[in-house]
Structure 1
């Protein structure tokens, strides 16, 4: 997914002040395109909280009737120094990228694209008669650490087997998670920093206690239902709870209608990043160079930094104009 804001603000991550305890981030609505566009609910980056572990971007969208809105139509666009994590609850999306991948993204399957030095891709809702007409899911970005920002781009796919325990179905798509009874659910997909990513679907009234890595900070994104966390902290739909490092367990309790949750985690990132539009860099110069190269290529140069692929829907997205100031940390 791309950031389609016409005047994206720079975001500097990796310098969050981690306070003991819990905080809740409210989502802001961002239209993904024109006046009839699908709207996404964005919780990262946010004021006062730019990252959870290496996660630097969290979008939650749907349920969206693509017959009414047109769904997701994101032409070729670039990324640098990050990984995109796509996880659907319903609907289907066609992914194409300059590594040569054409993939159908469906619910319950992880699709992870590593941008590294540079990649471009498109994402378009599947609108065939046999495809579901309701699109619903999340997309996450994770920043690559400084030693891996220039790795070659790649695409990974994984379908985790849900584990049923204590009235919940848990699907771990990144990292590993110790479940009640001692079972460890794990994903084989490679990441560049330790990460946790899991979907937890709780039955009505169910309660599950998960073991946490005390060196991780964690995020809980509520997709559906009513949920209380730990000592009764109630979480609103599409809100993101941040838990600072330290705790070794987390209790999730669903209300009468059950609850669907995305659980994120990772050690505090510890490096400064500059994120603008679809680029992650370490400096103003990194972002300016990436933008200039994308504008020169616009997805038409197979040998260029971002590559090229066959996209049947039209032209690539040009980058917005840079602000007339140096991209720098904000206080």
Structure 2
């Protein structure tokens, strides 16, 4: 098992909030098609991310507490709440804003995830889906399966590669043998509590990577209070991707074209109505003075 530790990253432009990023890292860019994991809160954190673009991916918003207002260039306007999956598909281009609301005193606490779209589907139409994942019991744990299938619970939301995503709350002092797909690689993010994954104890905010080949994942809560984890996984992604800023592409030239289209306010991304922040759209950063290259796939994915 490999442990990916988090690094602090400012997110959101003029009113940047700090998030803990565990994926991508230099030596591991993907777990299945999951290519991005940001973890934030609880505590004094608020979100105000002005309209910004995406290509070649799906964004997965998942909250443990608080509330976020989502607006996008499809015209979608949704309030994201705990237990509710919000999945946005970019296709060739979309833009959206994310703002934590003032309607609740509950701290903002959750994760923002990205899923890379495979070549056969990365030019698909823009889309936005919301789904409430009801909790189900499995042994001494409560599961909310928001993508794919796990322990007999299945999400109806369509994915473009085989994936799983679930919130897991372990009872105090609980030990659970969770059945998992042996064709999947998995990541387990520790949000709260003292937990061992497959015999290795994690620090808070660690993301444990488990390779393919196992049909069970052992989770042990060593604490006297419930512990919370996030499980992600999927079949190893067989395509090299190039990630820069908010874009997922395949070549340097493609990323350059995406940036130029966003800076030129192209209809490729559309526009967001109703956002009232300090800036109306986040400008793209300058490109580095070198040719961007896709990251090599880990040897176990080849």
- TM (normalized to structure 2)? 0.94
User: Post-superposition shift, 1:64?
Assistant: 2.7
How many angstroms apart in 1 are the aligned matches of 2:114 and 2:88? 10
User: Post-superposition shift, 1:308?
Assistant: 1.1
How many angstroms apart in 2 are the aligned matches of 1:329 and 1:272? 6
Deviations 1:296-330 (A, max 9, x none): 00xxx6xx100112122241001000011111146
How many angstroms apart in 1 are the aligned matches of 2:16 and 2:284? 19
Residues 330 and 139 of structure 1, relative CA distance in 2, 3 Å threshold: closer
How many angstroms apart in 2 are the aligned matches of 1:73 and 1:96? 12
How many angstroms apart in 1 are the aligned matches of 2:290 and 2:108? 38
How many angstroms apart in 2 are the aligned matches of 1:238 and 1:134? 17
Question: Which of 194, 216, 221 matches 2:189?
Answer: 221
Q: Which residue of 2 is the match for residue 141 of structure 1?
A: 114
Q: Which residue of 2 is the match for residue 18 of structure 1?
A: none
Question: Which of 245, 253, 256 matches 2:212?
Answer: 245
Q: Which runs of 4+ in 1 moved over 3 A?
A: 33-37
Q: Which residue of 2 is the match for residue 176 of structure 1?
A: 149
How many angstroms apart in 2 are the aligned matches of 1:197 and 1:237? 19
Contact 1:92 1:132 in 2 (8 A): no
Contact 1:90 1:132 in 2 (8 A): no
Question: Which of 257, 282, 294 matches 1:317?
Answer: 282
Residues 329 and 154 of structure 1, relative CA distance in 2, 3 Å threshold: closer
- TM (normalized to structure 1)? 0.86
How many angstroms apart in 1 are the aligned matches of 2:109 and 2:158? 25
Q: Aligned to 1:56, what secondary structure does the other structure show?
A: strand
Q: Which residue of 2 is the match for residue 31 of structure 1?
A: 10
The answer to whether structure 1 residue 266 and structure 2 residue 231 are counterparts is no
* Structure 1: runs of 5+ lacking an equivalent: 1-21, 179-183
Contact 2:13 2:282 in 1 (8 A): no
Q: Which residue of 2 is the match for residue 308 of structure 1?
A: 271
**Root-mean-square deviation (Å):** 1.4
How many angstroms apart in 2 are the aligned matches of 1:330 and 1:239? 22
The answer to whether structure 1 residue 46 and structure 2 residue 25 are counterparts is yes
Contact 1:226 1:258 in 2 (8 A): no
Question: Which of 126, 144, 148 matches 2:101?
Answer: 126
User: Post-superposition shift, 1:36?
Assistant: 7.3
User: Post-superposition shift, 1:219?
Assistant: 0.4
User: Post-superposition shift, 1:34?
Assistant: 6.7
**Where does 1:143-158 land on structure 2 (aligned, <5 Å)?**
143-158=116-131
* Structure 2: runs of 5+ lacking an equivalent: 297-302
Deviations 1:21-71 (A, max 9, x none): x100010001224797431000000121110000000000000324xxxx1
User: Post-superposition shift, 1:132?
Assistant: 3.0
The answer to whether structure 1 residue 295 and structure 2 residue 263 are counterparts is yes
Question: Which of 185, 191, 194 matches 2:159?
Answer: 191
User: Post-superposition shift, 1:123?
Assistant: 0.2
Q: Aligned to 2:193, what secondary structure does the other structure show?
A: strand
Pairs aligned (count):
293
Question: Which of 71, 78, 84 matches 1:103?
Answer: 78
Contact 1:32 1:40 in 2 (8 A): yes
